[in-house]
């Protein structure tokens, strides 16, 4: 079974904390409803600039972190 990206859960949980519908979040952030749905469903290929646009609404952003390897 495939695991959903963490950002999917973050966006969905933050949206629900603010008691916003997907439609309301899309309007407030300036992205399409389809984009919000795709993110929350864990679509792996979304535009990074748009994802950051959504995350910034919650005071977050995507960033690069060093990966830990199993052999380290």
Q: Give the per-residue SS3 of the chain.
A: CCCCCHHHHHHHHHHHHCCCCHHHHHHHHCCCHHHHHHHHCCCCCCCHHHHHHHHHHCCCCCCCCCCCCCCC
**Mean pLDDT of the residues in the chain:** 92
Give tens-digit pLDDT for 22-53: 999 999 999 999 999 999 999 989 999 999 99
At the top level of CATH, the class of 6-57 is: mainly alpha
Q: Are 46 and 52 in contact (CB under 8 A)?
A: no
Q: Where are the domains of the chain?
A: 6-57
With a CB cutoff of 8 Å and minimum separation 6, the contacts of 8 are: 39, 40, 41, 42
pTM of the model: 0.84
- What whole-number percentage of the chain has pLDDT above 90? 76
What is the reported pLDDT for 65?
Answer: 86
């Amino acid at each position: 079974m495939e695991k959903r990206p963490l950002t999917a859960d973050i966006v969905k949980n933050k949206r629900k904390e603010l008691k916003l519908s997907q439609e309301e979040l899309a309007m407030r952030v300036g992205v399409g409803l389809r984009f919000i749905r795709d993110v929350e469903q864990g679509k792996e290929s979304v535009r990074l600039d748009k994802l950051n646009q959504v995350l910034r609404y919650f005071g977050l952003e995507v960033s690069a972190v060093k990966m830990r390897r199993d052999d380290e």
